[in-house]
Structure 1
Amino acid sequence: MTPDPTPDPTKPDILLKATFDRPAIVKYKWCSLIPASLFIITIPFVIIAAIVYKFMLDRIIANWAAELTPRSLIVRKGVFNKIEKTIPLEKITDLSSTQGPIMRMFDLKQLGVETAGQSGAAGAALVSLMGIVDTDEFRRQVLAQRDRLTSGSTETTPNRTIDPQPASATGELAEISATLQRMEALLERMANDSGDHHNH
C-alpha cells in the first residue's frame, strides 16, 4: 500500500468552507436575460441563449471559493483568469450583508468584505461574494474567528462546510421550464400589443 501523503505544512488549516447556492444564483442572473430577450424575435433564440448562459454561469460559479483559516479569509474566483485573495482576519473591519428585492425572491444575499486601508472607491467592498448558503452563519463564523484572533484566544471554529439543501434535478428542470414559459408569454404579449398599435 502507498503511504498517505504527509500534510503540507505550508498550507493553512481550513476551518470553514463556503458553499454557493448555484441554482438560485443562476435563476437570479437569468433575470438579466428578460430585458435582452425583448429584442430577440424568435423564441428558439431565447431558449438557446438561456441554455448557453446557464452553462457559462455553472462554470463561473464552480470556480468560486471562500475558505476561512485560523488567520485569514481566502477567496478564489475566475475561470480563465484565476484570482486568489488572502485577506488577513485582523484587517477585516466588517462583512456587510445586502439583499435587494430580486435577490430576496431567490433567498440570496451579497456579502461584502470590508478592510482597514482597502483600495478602491470609498465605501466599496474589497471582495463581494453572492449566494453563499446560510450567508448569516458564514458571516458570524468569520467575524467570530477574527475576534478570537485579535483577542489572542487559541480557540478555533471546528472544521466544517456549510452545505446547501439537497435540490431535486426534476424540480430544477421544472423551474427552468417555468422561467422560459414566462419569458415566452411576455414576448407573445408584447408582440400582440405591437400588432394592436399597428392596427390602430
Structure 2
Amino acid sequence: MAQNDVILARAEFDPRLPRYFMLQALAGMLFSFVMIPLIPFWLILGRGIHQQQYKNLVCELTPRTLKVRRGVLFKVQKSIPLDKITDLALNEGPILRYLGLCSLTIETAGGGQGAATGQAVLPGVANAEEFRDRVLEQRDRVTLRDDSSERAAAVPAVPMRESGTLDEIRDILVRIDQRLADRA
C-alpha cells in the first residue's frame, strides 16, 4: 500500500445533510419561478436523490492529499495536495444555520473562486472544526518537511578531504585579516 493510500482521517457528514440538499433545491426552484410547477414532483423524487448524494459524499485525509468524492449523476473526484491548501473556511448560510450545520470550504493556492478552479466545498461536516484542525495540522507537517528537505538540497555538502581543512581555512583567514590591517 502506497503512503498516499493510508487514510489518516475521514470526514463524517451529518445525517441532516439530505434535508439541506432538499431545502437548497427547493429554494432554487422557488427563486427561478419557472420551476415552481415541478416542486410537487421534486418532493417525491428528490428525497431519494438527495439520500444518494449524501451517501456518495466522501472526504479522506491521506499523508499528502485530501481526497474528495461526490455526486450521483455526475461524479467528481478530487485529490487536493495538502501543500496547496491555504485555508479551510467554515461557512454558514441561512439554510445551513437553520439546520444547525456548517460548510467547510477548501481554499487552495491559485484557486480563485468556485469549486472548478481548485476549491472544494463540503457541506454538513460533523465536527467540522476538529476535521479542519486535523487537515491543517497534517498540511503543516507536509510543508515543514518539504521546506527542510528543500533547504538541505539547496546547500550542497562539502566533503572534508583532510582533518586539517578547517585549520587551513583558519590560517588563510588570519593572513587575509593581517593584510587588511597592513593596508589600513
State the TM-score, normalized to the length of structure 2: 0.65
2-structure distance, mates of 1:20, 1:82: 18
Q: Which sections of structure 2, spanning at least 5 residues, go unmatched?
A: 147-184
1:77 to 63, 70, 73: 70
What secondary structure sits across from 2:5 in the alignment? coil
Residue aligning to 2:86: 93
What secondary structure sits across from 1:14 in the alignment? coil
Q: Deviations over 1:54-93 (max 9, x none)?
A: 1000111211110000111001112233221111101100
1-structure distance, mates of 2:104, 2:56: 17
Contact 2:3 2:63 in 1 (8 A): no
Are residue 129 (structure 1) and residue 122 (structure 2) matched?
yes
Q: Deviations over 1:17-66 (max 9, x none)?
A: 112113x1222233343674x955xxxx83x6323211000111211110
Contact 1:112 1:125 in 2 (8 A): no
Q: Percent identity?
A: 37
Are residue 61 (structure 1) and residue 54 (structure 2) matched?
yes
Are residue 29 (structure 1) and residue 21 (structure 2) matched?
yes
Q: Would you tell me which structure has more helix in proportion to its own residues?
A: 2
Contact 2:22 2:50 in 1 (8 A): no
Which structure ranks higher in relative contact order (CA pairs < 8 Å, sequence separation ≥ 6)?
Answer: 1
2-structure distance, mates of 1:19, 1:90: 23
Are residue 105 (structure 1) and residue 98 (structure 2) matched?
yes
Contact 2:110 2:118 in 1 (8 A): no
Matched pairs, number:
138
> What's the offset of the Cα at 1:148?
1.5
Higher CA-based Rg: 2
1-structure distance, mates of 2:126, 2:87: 19
2:131 to 106, 131, 138: 138
CA gap of 1:11–1:148, structure 2 versus 1, over 3 A, is closer
Q: Which sections of structure 1, spanning at least 5 residues, go unmatched?
A: 1-7, 154-200
> What's the offset of the Cα at 1:118?
2.0
How large is the RMSD of aligned CA atoms in angstroms? 2.7
Q: Deviations over 1:114-147 (max 9, x none)?
A: 11122556xx871111011111111111001111
